[in-house]
Chains A and B, each alone.
Chain A
Amino acid sequence: MVEEENIRVVRCGGSELNFRRAVFSADSKYIFCVSGDFVKVYSTVTEECVHILHGHRNLVTGIQLNPNNHLQLYSCSLDGTIKLWDYIDGILIKTFTVGCKLHALFTVAQAEDSVFAIVNKEKPDIFQLVSVKLPKSSSQEVEAKELSFVLDYINQSPKCIAFGNEGVYVAAVREFYLSVYFFKKKTTSRFTLSSSRNKKHAKNNFTCVACHPTEDCIASGHMDGKIRLWRNFYDDKKYTYTCLHWHHDMVMDLAFSVTGTSLLSGGRESVLVEWRDATEKNKEFLPRLGATIEHISVSPAGDLFCTSHSDNKIIIIHRNLEASAVIQGLVKDRSIFTGLMIDPRTKALVLNGKPGHLQFYSLQSDKQLYNLDIIQQEYINDYGLIQIELTKAAFGCFGNWLATVEQRQEKETELELQMKLWMYNKKTQGFILNTKINMPHEDCITALCFCNAEKSEQPTLVTASKDGYFKVWILTDDSDIYKKAVGWTCDFVGSYHKYQATNCCFSEDGSLLAVSFEEIVTIWDSITWELKCTFCQRAGKIRHLCFGRLTCSKYLLGATENGILCCWNLLSCALEWNAKLNVRVMEPDPNSENIAAISQSSVGSDLFVFKPSEPRPLYIQKGISREEVQWGVFVPRDVPESFTSEAYQWLNRSQFYFLTKSQSLLTFSTKSPEEKLTPTSKQLLAEESLPTTPFYFILGKHRQLQDEKLNETLENELVQLPLTENIPAVSELLHTPAHVLPSAAFLCSMFVNSLLLSTETKSAKEIPEDVDMEEEKESEDSDEENDFIEKVQDTNNTGLGEDIIHQLSKSEEKELRKFRKIDYSWIAAL
Chain B
Amino acid sequence: MAGYKPVAIQTYPILGEKITQDTLYWNNYKTPVQIKEFGAVSKVDFSPQPPYNYAVTASSRIHIYGRYSQEPIKTFSRFKDTAYCATFRQDGRLLVAGSEDGGVQLFDISGRAPLRQFEGHTKAVHTVDFTADKYHVVSGADDYTVKLWDIPNAKEILTFKEHSDYVRCGCASKLNPDLFITGSYDHTVKMFDARTNTSVLSVEHGQPVESVLLFPSGGLLVSAGGRYVKVWDMLKGGQLLVSLKNHHKTVTCLCLSSSGQRLLSGSLDRKVKVYSTTSYKVVHSFDYAASILSLALAHEDETIVVGMTNGILSVKHRKSEAKKESLPRRRRPAYRTFIKGKNYMKQRDDILINRPAKKHLELYDRDLKHFRISKALDRVLDPTCTIKTPEITVSIIKELNRRGVLANALAGRDEKEISHVLNFLIRHLSQPRFAPVLINAAEIIIDIYLPVIGQSPVVDKKFLLLQGLVEKEIDYQRELLETLGMMDMLFATMRRKEGTSVLEHTSDGFPENKKIES
Contact surface of A with B, Cβ cutoff 8 Å: 286-290, 315, 320, 323, 376-378, 380, 382, 384-388, 408, 410, 414, 416, 438, 480-482, 531-537, 573-575, 578
Most buried by B among A289, A376, A414, A481: A481
Known: A438-B10, A481-B281, A575-B513. A533 touches B2 (CB 8 A): no
Q: Which residues of A contact B510 (CB under 8 A)?
A: 536
Interface contact A315-B513, CB-CB below 8 Å: no
Per-position binary interface string of chain B over residues 434-473, scored 1 when its CB falls under 8 Å from any chain A CB and 0 otherwise: 0010001000000000000000000000000000000000
- Pairs of residues from A and B, 7 with the lowest C-beta to C-beta distance, nearest first: A575-B516, A574-B512, A378-B5, A481-B279, A534-B506, A288-B1, A575-B513
Known: A481-B276, A575-B517. A535 touches B509 (CB 8 A): yes
A290-B2, A416-B436, A480-B281 given. 17 additional CB < 8 A pairs?
A: A320-B353, A377-B7, A377-B402, A378-B4, A414-B436, A438-B10, A480-B18, A481-B278, A482-B20, A533-B508, A536-B506, A536-B510, A537-B517, A573-B508, A574-B516, A575-B513, A578-B516
Interface contact A481-B509, CB-CB below 8 Å: no
Number of A-B contacts (CB under 8 A): 81
| A382–B509 CA distance with the chains assembled, in angstroms | 53
Q: Which residues of B contact A286 (CB under 8 A)?
A: 1
Q: Which residues of A contact B14 (CB under 8 A)?
A: none
Interface of chain B residues 374 through 404 with chain A (CB within 8 A): 399, 401-404
Interface contact B517-A385, CB-CB below 8 Å: no
| A532–B1 CA distance with the chains assembled, in angstroms | 53
Q: Does B339 contact A (CB under 8 A)?
A: no
Interface contact A573-B440, CB-CB below 8 Å: no
- Chain B nearest CB: distance from A34 CB in Å? 24
Q: Does B334 contact A (CB under 8 A)?
A: no
Interface of chain B residues 252 through 278 with chain A (CB within 8 A): 276, 278
Most buried by B among A376, A378, A385: A378
Known: A288-B3, A378-B4. A414 touches B440 (CB 8 A): yes
- A interface majority secondary structure: loop
Q: Which residues of A contact B278 (CB under 8 A)?
A: 481
Closest chain A residue to B20 by CB distance? A482
- Chain A nearest CB: distance from B154 CB in Å? 49
Known: A534-B506, A536-B513, A575-B517. A377 touches B404 (CB 8 A): no
Per-position binary interface string of chain B over residues 171-186, scored 1 when its CB falls under 8 Å from any chain A CB and 0 otherwise: 0000000000000000
> A377 contacts which of B8, B20, B517 (Cβ < 8 Å)?
B8
- Chain B nearest CB: distance from A418 CB in Å? 10
- Chain B nearest CB: distance from A237 CB in Å? 42
| A481–B8 CA distance with the chains assembled, in angstroms | 29
Q: Which residues of A contact B276 (CB under 8 A)?
A: 481
Q: Which residues of B contact A438 (CB under 8 A)?
A: 10
Interface contact A480-B20, CB-CB below 8 Å: yes
Q: Does B283 contact A (CB under 8 A)?
A: yes
Known: A377-B8, A378-B7. A537 touches B513 (CB 8 A): yes
> A573 contacts which of B3, B353, B502, B509 (Cβ < 8 Å)?
B509
Interface of chain B residues 1 through 57 with chain A (CB within 8 A): 1-8, 10, 18, 20-21
Q: Which residues of B contact A376 (CB under 8 A)?
A: 5, 8
Interface contact A531-B505, CB-CB below 8 Å: yes
Closest chain A residue to B503 by CB distance? A534
Q: Which residues of B contact A386 (CB under 8 A)?
A: 402, 404
Interface contact B509-A385, CB-CB below 8 Å: no
Known: A531-B502, A574-B516. A408 touches B402 (CB 8 A): yes
> B1 contacts which of A315, A378, A574 (Cβ < 8 Å)?
A315
Most buried by A among B20, B353, B505: B505
Q: Which residues of A contact B402 (CB under 8 A)?
A: 377, 380, 385-388, 408
Q: Which residues of A contact B508 (CB under 8 A)?
A: 533, 573
> B404 contacts which of A288, A315, A385, A532 (Cβ < 8 Å)?
A385
Closest chain A residue to B505 by CB distance? A533
| A534–B399 CA distance with the chains assembled, in angstroms | 44
Interface contact A482-B21, CB-CB below 8 Å: yes
- Chain A nearest CB: distance from B408 CB in Å? 13
Q: Which residues of A contact B281 (CB under 8 A)?
A: 480-481
| Interchain residue pairs with CB less than 8 A apart (18) | A286-B1, A288-B2, A323-B1, A377-B5, A378-B6, A378-B7, A380-B402, A382-B403, A387-B402, A416-B436, A481-B278, A481-B281, A482-B20, A533-B505, A534-B509, A573-B512, A575-B513, A578-B516
- Chain B nearest CB: distance from A154 CB in Å? 34
| A179–B452 CA distance with the chains assembled, in angstroms | 52
Q: Which residues of A contact B6 (CB under 8 A)?
A: 378
Interface of chain B residues 490 through 518 with chain A (CB within 8 A): 502, 505-506, 508-510, 512-513, 516-517
Closest chain B residue to A436 by CB distance? B11
Q: Which residues of B contact A323 (CB under 8 A)?
A: 1
Known: A315-B1, A573-B508. A384 touches B513 (CB 8 A): no
- Chain A nearest CB: distance from B508 CB in Å? 7
Closest chain A residue to B371 by CB distance? A380
Interface contact A384-B7, CB-CB below 8 Å: no
Interface contact A536-B279, CB-CB below 8 Å: no
- Chain B nearest CB: distance from A315 CB in Å? 7
| A316–B29 CA distance with the chains assembled, in angstroms | 63
| A578–B514 CA distance with the chains assembled, in angstroms | 12
| A682–B268 CA distance with the chains assembled, in angstroms | 82
Interface contact B1-A384, CB-CB below 8 Å: no
| A740–B508 CA distance with the chains assembled, in angstroms | 90
| A535–B516 CA distance with the chains assembled, in angstroms | 13
| A323–B3 CA distance with the chains assembled, in angstroms | 12
| A537–B512 CA distance with the chains assembled, in angstroms | 11
| A315–B1 CA distance with the chains assembled, in angstroms | 9
Q: Which residues of A contact B404 (CB under 8 A)?
A: 382, 384-386
- Chain A nearest CB: distance from B103 CB in Å? 46
Closest chain A residue to B1 by CB distance? A288
> A289 contacts which of B1, B403, B509 (Cβ < 8 Å)?
B1
| A534–B513 CA distance with the chains assembled, in angstroms | 11
Closest chain A residue to B6 by CB distance? A378
Interface contact B513-A288, CB-CB below 8 Å: no
- Chain B nearest CB: distance from A325 CB in Å? 12
Q: Which residues of B contact A377 (CB under 8 A)?
A: 5, 7-8, 399, 402
Closest chain B residue to A323 by CB distance? B1
Q: Which residues of A contact B283 (CB under 8 A)?
A: 481
| A575–B502 CA distance with the chains assembled, in angstroms | 19
- Chain A nearest CB: distance from B426 CB in Å? 21
Known: A289-B1, A378-B7. A536 touches B403 (CB 8 A): no
Interface contact A575-B512, CB-CB below 8 Å: yes
Closest chain B residue to A383 by CB distance? B404
Most buried by B among A323, A532, A534: A534
Interface contact B1-A290, CB-CB below 8 Å: yes
Q: Which residues of B contact A531 (CB under 8 A)?
A: 502, 505
Known: A385-B404, A481-B276. A533 touches B1 (CB 8 A): no
- Chain B nearest CB: distance from A386 CB in Å? 8
